[in-house]
Amino acid sequence: MNYAEKLKDPRWQKKRLEIFERDGWKCRECGDAKSTLNIHHQRYKSGCDPWEYDNSDLKTLCEYCHGIERDQRVEAESILLDILKPYSVSQLCKITMVLCCGGTINDLIRRGDEMESK
């Protein structure tokens, strides 16, 4: 079954409706409720069918925001990799801990200053 066929699968259609309902039938980025809505996979997992993702990995986006997310992702990932290259593995682990624990950009900046001073 190719990806287009998987998106027609009743299991995906059910999951899709659950996400639309959870997000109030509007784009989570801009709040648009009138344009065509899409379900965006925030990350892809190898070998995982669309309906097997955790709901936290999915969000409702309007066509415009979905296009931006899709088209700019590769560029954004490249920029982030360039930013992170100078850091050691232990420093990257600290950055990851801050992000995974709900830290803010200010926390990262503060942590970055602490790491540079060591």
Q: Domain ranges for the chain, please list them.
A: 3-84, 86-118
CB 27 within 8 Å of CB 65: yes
List, in sequence order, every beta strand (DSSP E) within 1-118.
37-41, 58-62
Better pLDDT: 103 or 48: 48
Tens of pLDDT, residues 15-34 = 999 999 999 999 999 999 99
| Tens of pLDDT, residues 55-64 | 999 999 999 9
Q: Is the pTM of this model over 0.85?
A: no
Give the CA count within 13 Å in the CB-facing half-sphere of 97: 8
pLDDT at 114: 59
